[in-house]
Amino acid sequence: MATATISIRMDADTKKSMEAVCRDLGMSMTTAFTIFAKKVGRERRIPFELTVDPFYSEENIAHLRRSIAALEEGRFVSHELIDDE
């Protein structure tokens, strides 16, 4: 079987975390990515659910922008958080 080389960029913390998990599983990152690639090719889909973080919804971003504008204009409401512990 011929092999091909790929290059993947990711932040250092993500890489360290993945390396640790792979090490605990007794495999390399190359093996993990190969498993992923084979599963994608076989199933013709990403083999896990992808969702959008609701924090970044248009509605929430608009609310955050309004809140920032109010704060910058000196119009804001202070809320006290109560710790139940």
C-alpha distances out from residue 82 to 36, 77, 85, Å: 45, 16, 9
pLDDT of residue 57: 87
The model's pTM? 0.58
Q: Could you read off the pLDDT of 22-65 as tens digits, one per residue?
A: 999 999 999 999 999 999 999 999 999 888 788 888 899 999 99
Distance CA 29, CA 27 (A): 7
pLDDT of residue 20: 95
pLDDT of residue 56: 83
Question: Would you kindly state where each structural domain of the chain is located, as residue ranges?
Answer: 12-72
Most confident of 7-21, 45-59, 64-78: 7-21
Q: Which stretches within the chain are classed as H helix?
A: 12-25, 29-43, 58-72
